[in-house]
Structure 1
Amino acid sequence: ANAERTLWTATLTPNAGANAATNTIRVDLAGVTNDTGNAGTGSASSTNYSVDTVRPTATIALADNALTVDESTTVSFRFNEPVTGFDANDIVLTDANGTLSPPTANAERTVWTATFTPTANVSALANTIRVNLSGVSDDAGNAGTGSASSTNYSVDTVRPTATIALAENALTAGETTTVSFRFNEPVTGLDASDIVCTSGTLSPPTANAERTVWTATFTPTANVSALANTIRVNLSGVSDDAGNAGTGSASSTNYSVDTERPTATITLADSTLTAGESTTVSFRFSEPVTGLDASDIVCTSGTLS
């Protein structure tokens, strides 16, 4: 009370989390008495006042929770009431592995949407988008507190790549070798139609349990002599478990194939020999050879140096 006891004051603290446009404070006058002992009757009421102590909150949802190469998705920020001040500065992408377009609001300003584009060459199962709610306010001026976070989503924008190696890089007649196709991640879809090889043929490739290493047997073509050869894979024919297809091709290092066997023609300088004569015999080979000696040669009616 003031000194005259005609004005009494108190502090009103509104309830937290309340949103009510119609409110009054009433006094039961029967409980007060003047100095002559007369009690009041009935009640007195304040004019109407409003209480809005509800702070903005939000839920964040992605239309697609498993993002792969060349995909984007819509992100919805759904608020419990109309808000203002929401922009890219309020959004935290530290754990997002992607970028977000500026958010735009619906007519009621309760749902804001943006387009999320994942980062290239990322494989991450755990990702979130967060909002700092202190940056948004409702129409009563209440600012949000804390933050809101999306549920987890995955990003896999890594395409399959491969390295190709031959166990033997110099192949000769009668030889075969194992070819290994080693991928950066498990893949499906690799078959003979994806593989191009020169100077030989390849068996159908088979995968290990993890599908990261596929092997096949290379058999060189007969009667071929080629120093420069490669085995290539068209990576567009293989996909990882997220559905990302490879691009371009992978190639082995160079290998040589020589499956030509030596052949020879034999000529005598003189084909009609008489007593006291000798002649030169020429052994002309299809290619350079080693190992020729007298034990390899059979001749009749004479001897050979």
Structure 2
Amino acid sequence: MKRFFCVLFACMLVLGVAMAAYGYQNGASTSLYWSDGHMYTEKELSSLAESREWTELPQGVSGLALDLNSADVTICQGEAFHISADYQRGSAPETTVENGVLYLRDEASSRVGFDFSLGHSRRENSLTIELPEGALKALDIRLGAGDLSLEGVHLEALAVEMDMGSAALKDVSGESLSVQCNLGDFTLEGGEFDTAELTMSLGSLAFSGAVRTAMRAQSDMGDVDLSGALAGEIEVNANLGTVRIDSQLPRSAYALDLASNLGSLTVDGERIGTDSIGPSLQQEDGENSLHVRADMGDILVQFAAEE
């Protein structure tokens, strides 16, 4: 039995040395990639990296739709229309124009097998878009894996759908905002929308801006932080997480319906229902409405001072 384990140990040692040598020869990594129906080592895949550019917005196009499997996306305001794609994994996006919308779509590239590395090795795809002021009316982003950065863009309609990754928006405004994040955080800093619908599965939600007509925020697991000029009908439903609301409007401007099933309720620094389970607060008068429900988590609401 002792001899058997010695032989087994020797075989494992030889295999480990072979894997280390193989990894060193292939850029200090034995990662395997599947792309275009073939298996590649990381070194082989480097030779297949693709870069593409688009410098003109097709005539008659008023919308842009991204349908990407894996990429980090950066969108900002620029003097001229420009899109650059740098793909290290899989094929760079292809473009089509359908009903006045420019579509960018890529192909899936999945990583399979074992991952053994002697050093840092990371291959990412990136897409950078510069948009002149008023170039587009609508932007629709669907991202499988990757992060999104969006800054200084003004649109009529903005839709964001992400499977895995975080989104950070700054100084972005429009008539409507629709967000759905399955795994990752969503942050908006600055901006103004008529309506906003925010749906989070697993991740935190932070919105600091203005809403004129209506906002609906739904969170399955994660904290919800809303601040700014929150006008119209504001509805927040959180299953597991803390809800924090800091409104620039006074308390008298709202009809209130606040309740936590398992957690505390604090309004303007005052603890509501300190001796009760499931505290709630209702207020009927107000030209705006604030409806908040938390199944398991605290609710903290702060209003602006009365004039």
Q: Which protein is richer in strand relative to its size?
A: 2
**Common fold, TM-score beyond 0.5?**
no
- In the superposition, the TM-score normalised over structure 2's length comes to 0.19
| TM-score (ref. length: structure 1) | 0.19
**Greater C-alpha radius of gyration:** 1
> Which has the larger helix fraction?
2
